Structure 1
Amino acid sequence: MASNEEHYTLPRAAFDKPVKVLIVVAPYYKAIADEMVKGAQAEIEASGGSHETIEVPGALEIPSAIGIAERLSNFDAYVALGCVIRGETTHYDTVCNDSSRAITLLGLQGLCIGNGILTVENYEQARVRAESQGQNKGGGAAAAALHLLAITRQFGADRKGVGFRATPDELKIAGEGKGPATA
């Protein structure tokens, strides 16, 4: 069982400037979600960061909420928390795959996101993984987001936000009125 194996954990990320993190949680399984939020908040605070928490209806809405927050607010990093327990239909596969894929795509666009959406077979597996004094997957997701933020700050580049951004040359061309030829 993986919980009995020893795993290497990176040292806690450290920051010179303040860190503001948004925790986005789908509290469908409230006790699991609350425990994961507790672990995430403790990890962020231990790194000297501040945090806010918002709730969304389900795991599929987590990436959308993160994208909205990135466009309309000033968070440095994001923690995605939720729990999907296998049921009797293929809905489990859709929720697991699509939420994970969307979070990955946001990350590839430069957002610092720790994915703490549990995908488990039963409630007991979720409980064990969520316990803040145990496997602490909420704290692990927060640590992942903070490590990605530390790497971003190390490279010194400002984040550009989510979505398409025109290059300076494209903006110059657009400003010169270049467009379809007229007869």
Structure 2
Amino acid sequence: MAAAEQHYILPRPEFDKPVKILIVVAPYYKDIADNLVAGAKAEIEAVGGTWDVAEVPGALEVPTAISIAERLSNYDGYVALGCVIRGETTHYETVCNDSSRAIQMMGLNGICIGNGILTVENRKQAEVRAEVEGQNKGGGAAAAALHLIALSRKWGSSSKGIGFKPITDSIRLAGDTEDTPTA
């Protein structure tokens, strides 16, 4: 197998407030998933961040778990990890395309996600990409999430409330008039 090409890697972002990331992993190929998670954890810890890990049955469930966590918890970002190895049927294309598309759509809606779901032809390719001392795709996915979080903090507000923000502090109910007291 040819060595990986040299490519530019952005410097790690720095944070003035702690970063909390959810790593969502499909451990179908447990040894490969474990290496991906180890790389992601190390990258998050290198910036002083904290992480939680959630396991799901397969790569198709990774985006769903991220979507649930985004609605119901308080993570700054997410790392999607897993491995899909080509088999004899078209199931490979379905899993690769649909998981990637769902992650991309959430990203386009402002969720900070690093996609480290490997899509490979064989186990050897997966092992090389997952190895922490090698291509470290788990660490790369965590780095992507961290960079997106840094941009989000730079360009957005720090609040992560649910719902809309009222224009004023006073609340008016339908049917209220100017003279009716509000909550």
Answer whether TM exceeds 0.5 for this pair. yes
2:174 corresponds to 1:176 = yes
SS across alignment from 1:12: coil
Task: For 2:9 and 2:105, locate their aligned partners in 1 and report how far apart those are by CA, in whole Å.
Answer: 25
Amino acid aligned to 2:32: I
Partner of residue 36, structure 1: 36
Q: Secondary structure, in 3 states, of the residue corresponding to 1:59?
A: coil
Letter in 2 for 1:41: K
In the other structure, the counterpart of 1:172 is none
Q: Distance in 2 between matches of 1:64 and 1:90?
A: 22
More helix by share: 1
Whole-angstrom distance in 2 between the partners of 1:2 and 1:21: 33
Does 2:98 align with 1:98? yes
Shift of 1:108: 1.0
* Matched residue, 1:138: 138
* Cα distance in 1 for residues equivalent to 2:17 and 2:59: 31
The residue that corresponds to 1:152 in the other structure is 152
**What one-letter code is carried by the residue in structure 2 that aligns with 1:77?**
G
**Partner Cα separation in structure 1 for residue 118 and residue 14 of structure 2:** 26
How far is the alpha carbon of 1:109 from its aligned partner? 1.1
What amino acid maps onto 1:40 in structure 2? A
Gaps of at least 5 residues in structure 1 are: 170-174, 178-183
Change (3 A) 1:55 1:155: same
Does structure 1 residue 70 correspond to structure 2 residue 81?
Answer: no
Aligned letter for 2:23? I
- Contact 1:110–1:159 (Cα < 8 Å) also in 2: no
Aligned residue for 2:22, secondary structure, equals strand
In the comparison of the two structures, how many residue pairs are matched? 171
What residue is the counterpart of 1:112 in the other structure? 112
Q: What is the CA-CA distance between 1:114 and the residue it aligns to? A: 0.1
AA aligned to 1:138 is: G
> Is residue 128 from structure 1 mapped to residue 128 from structure 2 by the alignment?
yes
State the Cα distance separating 1:5 from its structure 2 match.
1.3
CA contact (8 A) 2:4 2:135 kept: no
Distance in 1 between the 2:9 and 2:19 partners?
21
Which protein shows a greater Rg? 2
Q: Is structure 2 residue 13 aligned with structure 1 residue 16?
A: no
State the distance in 2 between where 1:161 and 1:124 align. 44
Q: Deviations over 1:42-61 (max 9, x none)?
A: 00000110000010000000
> Residues 110 and 161 of structure 1 are in contact (CA less than 8 Å); yes or no, is this contact kept in structure 2?
no
Deviation of residue 158 (structure 1)?
Answer: 4.3
Q: Alpha carbons of 1:151 and 1:3: their partners in 2 closer, same or farther (altered >3 Å)?
A: farther
Residue 2 (structure 1) shift: 6.9
Q: Specify the SS of the correspondent of 2:60.
A: helix
How far apart, CA to CA, are the structure 1 residues paired with 2:63 and 2:161? 14
Q: Deviations over 1:111-136 (max 9, x none)?
A: 10000000000000000000000000
Who is 2:179 aligned against?
Answer: none
Q: TM-score scaled to structure 2, two decimals?
A: 0.87
4+ runs deviating over 6 angstroms: none
